[in-house]
Structure 1
Amino acid sequence: MTQTGTSEDVETLAQDFWEWRAAQQPRSHDDIPRIDRPAGWLPDFSAGAVARYRRERDAFAERLARVDVGADRAAAVDARLLRSALARVRWELDVLRTWQRDPGFYVDQTLGCVFDLLTPVEVDAARLADVRRVLAATPALLDVGRENLAGEAVQEFAGLAVTALATVEDDVAAMVAALGDLHPAGWGADDGRALAAAGAAAARALGAFRDRLAEQLPGLPSAEPVGPEDFGWFLREVAVLPYTPQELLDIGRREAERAAVLELLERNRNGSAPGGRPVPRFETGAEQAAAQADAEIAVRRFYEDRGLLTQPDTLAHYRTHPMPAYLAPIAWCGVADDLTGPDRLDEDGSAFFPPPGEDLPYFYAANAADPRAGIIHEGAHHQQLALSWRHPRAVRRHYHDSCANEGIAFYNEELMLASGLFDDAPATREVVCNFMRLRALRVVVDVQLALGELDVPAAAELLERQVPMDRGTALEEAAFFAATPGQAMTYQVGKTQVLALLADASRTEGFSLRAFHDRLWLEGNVPFALQRWELLDDRSDLDRIDRLTP
């Protein structure tokens, strides 16, 4: 790391911090926080590593305290972003403590890392070698997990891990067998045998990890919610939000009611029966992928024709593909997409989908009926990240909190609906309205889980009944939200902030909707309270955060 004197430069500090974070940051089930890793990287959450991370985090905080931005508002925004990033490290290590409390954390750091390596469309010999390396390290990584979890693991999260790992031996075996059919250049028979041996050892270790958890499960303590004090700190320091938990609940409930009415009116307009599911319209995955590719180009043309968002020639495309045989067995490990990264801006973003059918999970069913349903959200993620990774200010190229990223993608859904993209698709208009209801209800579920007013089964039941959605997706969502407080609410809360920012910006002289959106996507990693300050010279959100701070 760069050594500093009495003064500190925010750009140098940011460079050092993100270089450190690339090695320290745990693997996440979510796709937006994925980060490029150093060559040969493996996660390390041994007791010694955690102690070192805390010391290094505190050293960064001391350096940040020496930053003097003067009257430079842009530099002040960058410094506040670093404060948010450092607060997230504290949130992970000292508040959530998933490395001590959640056995699923170690599934993420092992098989989850393998999953991430396999999400790009092309899997070459170097990537297969990385898969083999992670599989070979899995038994030792799980040993660290057992040490950290001893006396700390909680029953609900352990139960979720046991369920997730129910067929892990077969899952890993099927994955390795399918990888053996790839035969990329530079990958020989000895490599294949070494991969198979590493996979077999990893599968045994994961199965033993599951079995030991199952034995311990009845005696494990129940999970404690983060509670109002720590959750309030997260809202102010990590997410940079000017709201109390009760205000967030009010936002979620009001928006859920609004979305329910919009869906009701849309169904009445179309003469649709309540509770209908999207109907897949493709016979094969190849047919769906081809339709999506055409639709993505049409959506980009729509942005330009309506003067909504500039589509640079240098912006790569977002494509979808049938789920490959090697990824399908472990698809439960994360979001099966590849949004690329800062060093791969010339590559298309991509996502995988299961074969079209009648019993698809909630979001896959929507995309099988109309691929634009996914393009306007996951495709918006790809565009926003690809544009933000080009930001001239390096600190803004990084993920800080999901409110900005998910807020933009969710806002984009209603932007496309209101602008007429789905005038030819009544059923898709209903789906988009239903998406609104889900995302609003997520705020209620997220906040009530964090405050201890709901447990995971009750949260899943609420989603299943009120969205409605299938039981499996509802349980998966509720479990993820319980383990990651403050994430599920980001869609609706971020969108609410975008709407407020747009309403105020539209009253300024020379306002342009296209220019507003171009800036919004470019600044898409920056919390909206900071965007408001920089764009409108309005510190009201930041001042409210100061007033809410004890």
Structure 2
Amino acid sequence: MTSHATDLDRLSADFWSWRAVNSFRSGDDIPRIERPAAWLPRFDPAAIEVQRGELAQFAERWRAADASAAMISSPVAAQVDHRLLGSALARVHWELDVLRNWERDAVFLTSQILGPWFDLLLRPAPVEGARKAALVQVLAAMPAGVDQAIANLERAGVATLARVAAAQLDDIGPRLAESVEALSPFVDDATASALADVQPAASVALTRYADWLVRTADRLGPDAVVGRDAFVWYLRHIALVAAEPEELVRAALQDYRRSVVAETVTRNRYRDLPPAELAADLAELVAEESTREQEVRDFYEEHGLLTQPTGLRHYRFAAYPPYLEPLAFLGVTDDLTNDARRGEDAVSYVAAPASDLPYFEAANVRDPRLGIIHEGAHSQQLALSWAHPNPLRRRYVDSVANEGIAHYNEELMLTAGLFDDAPHSQTIVYNFMRLRALRVVVDVNLATGVFSLDEAVRFFVDSVPMDLETATEETAMYVATPGLAMSYNVGKQEVQRLLADAMIARGADFSLREFHDSVWLNGNVPLSLQRWELLGDRADVDALDAAGPWTNALRPAGPAKHL
């Protein structure tokens, strides 16, 4: 047992070092990891082929440490670790050979070209050390990245995603120049000069990319969906969710109806109250968030909900740095840090209070706690998980657990009474629930082919409601990243199911604080595995095992289905 555990530890360390070099850049804030110096994403066919071969080698080592055979008598925790690493390996196959966004998705390729620049700018100033050299390198690499993106899309690009990318890249050359110029006061003269030297070529290349997308989109391919079989494969082998897709949709629709009723009744109850006031200005908003964040932490402790360890980092609002704002479309504009920087405060960059801000920003400027109970929950869960005593559980694998915890936390804090003093915030939390339930319906039905793209757009327009342009953009993203949008609601329901069963199993010995402490600490571990470890209930695991080993799929996927 010790030998196999050592093999698994070594394999995990080797795999995650490899993943830091080879994984694609993500605009999401949860999967961000510490990259090696001079890192750039590779998305050329030769690099993809090398990754396939290296994945096969990792898979062979993983099979050699198979928990179901050599470790059958091992503690459940060791078997959970093995399955967790298998999920991480399966995700590589999913990205390379099922989704194939590296050759299909113009939005994804924009993220690989421009995203590393954005990511380097997320960490608050000062800009020092290796970060300065990396900024110059990323900027200088953009023309070659554009060439490779165009070559990939010429071969396999999707028209709808090309149109979305073209819209995002409107006026991109001047916007990049604005970002570079705004950065110059924050770096030394030599770095500012080097950036100024390479920026014009980068801006020209990006403008060429945007123009090419506009000219070419109509002759690119149709939207490709993974199909039900591949989506079930994702559920069983990456998210480790035992439910069928149709069950997920039915559960989400029930949650949607429940949230609509609660929102409507709550709004009616407080119908005579004036709307919540905006913060007077950005400085007031930042100061209020700091106060409110401590209030939320105290609330956890006072109500016995979640331990707040001494030294646990904080989650803060801050003004957009001038060099980040022109490129804010490239990802979630916060710095939740990474496992190497887990002691640093997390920062969310926010706009000045205004009456016409987008959906989530509009909520935060009226009550910062509405952001704290989700992004602040991410901040705490990640910091706790990165410090897990078991290194195999420190890494992000799939969003269902992480986003599920944060979405669960929203409803938890509402039910526990955090917003008793803020009636309008209560209605907003219910509206959050409504939106995230609807995302499951669109995400799953698109992936399985139940919805066409047009039907999915119309569903969003009619049910949220949402404007046509936003609905089209959001829906196109779901086609390219099946499973992400559903993760909030599906994960929340998994946490709630685990809590209910744990409470019944433990009876008078059940502790809400201890339950939450365990779930947050293991927040990177799928809930089916947490259930097995916490309750000894392996019903979900048995259902996952019935799907067979994920390694059977280690070959390029067949032709995608088209909408």
Structure 1 residues 169 and 455: alpha-carbon distance in aligned structure 2, compared to 1, 3 A threshold: farther
Residue 148 of structure 1: CA displacement?
A: 2.2
Q: Deviations over 1:452-482 (max 9, x none)?
A: 3335554344334322345565444323322
| Alignment map for 1:495-510 (pairs within 5 Å) | 495-509=492-506, 510=509
Amino acid at match of 1:14: S
Residue 42 (structure 2) pairs with residue 38 (structure 1): no
Q: Which shifted more, 360-369 or 34-43? A: 34-43
Runs of 4+, deviation exceeding 6 Å: 5-8
| Alignment map for 1:326-405 (pairs within 5 Å) | 326-405=323-402
TM-score by length of 2: 0.92
Is the 2:164–2:473 Cα contact (8 Å) retained in structure 1?
no
Q: Deviations over 1:353-409 (max 9, x none)?
A: 112111100000000110000000000000000000011111110001100000000
Q: Deviations over 1:304-331 (max 9, x none)?
A: 0000000011201000112121111100
The equivalent of 1:251 in structure 2 is 251
Q: Deviations over 1:475-521 (max 9, x none)?
A: 44323322210100000000111011000111233211100000010
Q: Which shifted more, 375-384 or 506-515? A: 506-515
Is the 2:5–2:78 Cα contact (8 Å) retained in structure 1?
no
The equivalent of 2:432 in structure 1 is 435
Distance 1:359 1:392 in 2: 45
Residue 132 (structure 2) pairs with residue 128 (structure 1): yes
Residue 297 of structure 1: CA displacement?
A: 0.4
Residue 216 of structure 1: CA displacement?
A: 1.4
Distance 2:133 2:423 in 1: 48
The equivalent of 1:73 in structure 2 is 76
Structure 1 residues 108 and 493: alpha-carbon distance in aligned structure 2, compared to 1, 3 A threshold: same
Q: Deviations over 1:277-323 (max 9, x none)?
A: x7551121111010000000000000000000000112010001121
Is the 1:388–1:525 Cα contact (8 Å) retained in structure 2?
yes
Distance 2:449 2:296 in 1: 42
| Alignment map for 1:125-524 (pairs within 5 Å) | 125-126=128-129, 127-182=131-186, 184=187, 187-188=188-189, 190-271=190-271, 281-456=278-453, 458-469=455-466, 473-509=470-506, 510-524=509-523
The equivalent of 2:115 in structure 1 is 112
Q: Which shifted more, 494-503 or 263-272? A: 263-272
Is the 1:279–1:368 Cα contact (8 Å) retained in structure 2?
no
Is the 2:253–2:438 Cα contact (8 Å) retained in structure 1?
yes
The equivalent of 2:559 in structure 1 is none
- Which of these residues, 76, 87, 95, is aligned with residue 98 of structure 2? 95
Is the 1:120–1:338 Cα contact (8 Å) retained in structure 2?
yes
Is the 2:297–2:308 Cα contact (8 Å) retained in structure 1?
yes
Distance 1:21 1:198 in 2: 29
Is the 1:323–1:355 Cα contact (8 Å) retained in structure 2?
no
Q: Deviations over 1:421-480 (max 9, x none)?
A: 000000000000000000100100101221233355543443343223455654443233
Residue 150 of structure 1: CA displacement?
A: 2.3
Task: State the aligned residue count.
Answer: 539
Amino acid at match of 2:412: L
Residue 199 of structure 1: CA displacement?
A: 2.0
Distance 2:276 2:104 in 1: 41
Distance 1:356 1:129 in 2: 35
Is the 1:236–1:549 Cα contact (8 Å) retained in structure 2?
no
The equivalent of 2:561 in structure 1 is none
Distance 1:403 1:265 in 2: 30
Matched residue SS, 1:181: helix
The equivalent of 2:524 in structure 1 is 525
Matched residue SS, 1:176: helix
Structure 1 residues 546 and 69: alpha-carbon distance in aligned structure 2, compared to 1, 3 A threshold: closer
Distance 2:160 2:218 in 1: 10
Is the 1:361–1:470 Cα contact (8 Å) retained in structure 2?
no
Distance 2:279 2:520 in 1: 32
Percent identity reads 49
Is the 2:278–2:354 Cα contact (8 Å) retained in structure 1?
no
Unaligned runs of 5+ in 2: 550-563
Structure 1 residues 280 and 332: alpha-carbon distance in aligned structure 2, compared to 1, 3 A threshold: farther
Distance 2:277 2:526 in 1: 37
Distance 2:272 2:162 in 1: 42
Q: Deviations over 1:168-194 (max 9, x none)?
A: 112101111211232x4xx11x32122
Distance 1:152 1:404 in 2: 32
Is the 1:296–1:318 Cα contact (8 Å) retained in structure 2?
yes
Matched residue SS, 1:320: strand
CA RMSD, Structure 1 to Structure 2 (Å): 1.9
Is the 2:33–2:339 Cα contact (8 Å) retained in structure 1?
no
Structure 1 residues 359 and 220: alpha-carbon distance in aligned structure 2, compared to 1, 3 A threshold: same
| Alignment map for 1:38-57 (pairs within 5 Å) | 38-57=36-55
Distance 1:6 1:522 in 2: 24
Structure 1 residues 7 and 481: alpha-carbon distance in aligned structure 2, compared to 1, 3 A threshold: same
Matched residue SS, 2:323: coil
Q: Which shifted more, 398-407 or 100-109? A: 100-109
Residue 21 (structure 2) pairs with residue 23 (structure 1): yes
Structure 1 residues 142 and 295: alpha-carbon distance in aligned structure 2, compared to 1, 3 A threshold: same
Distance 2:437 2:199 in 1: 41
Amino acid at match of 2:537: D
Distance 1:87 1:246 in 2: 23
Distance 2:5 2:308 in 1: 41
Distance 1:464 1:120 in 2: 36
Distance 1:136 1:457 in 2: 39
Structure 1 residues 472 and 494: alpha-carbon distance in aligned structure 2, compared to 1, 3 A threshold: same
TM-score by length of 1: 0.94
Structure 1 residues 474 and 323: alpha-carbon distance in aligned structure 2, compared to 1, 3 A threshold: farther
Distance 1:457 1:379 in 2: 35
Q: Deviations over 1:78-102 (max 9, x none)?
A: 1101110111000000000001111
Distance 1:370 1:194 in 2: 42
Is the 1:8–1:63 Cα contact (8 Å) retained in structure 2?
no
Distance 1:458 1:373 in 2: 31
Distance 1:455 1:288 in 2: 42
Distance 1:479 1:197 in 2: 36
Matched residue SS, 2:339: coil
Distance 1:125 1:474 in 2: 40
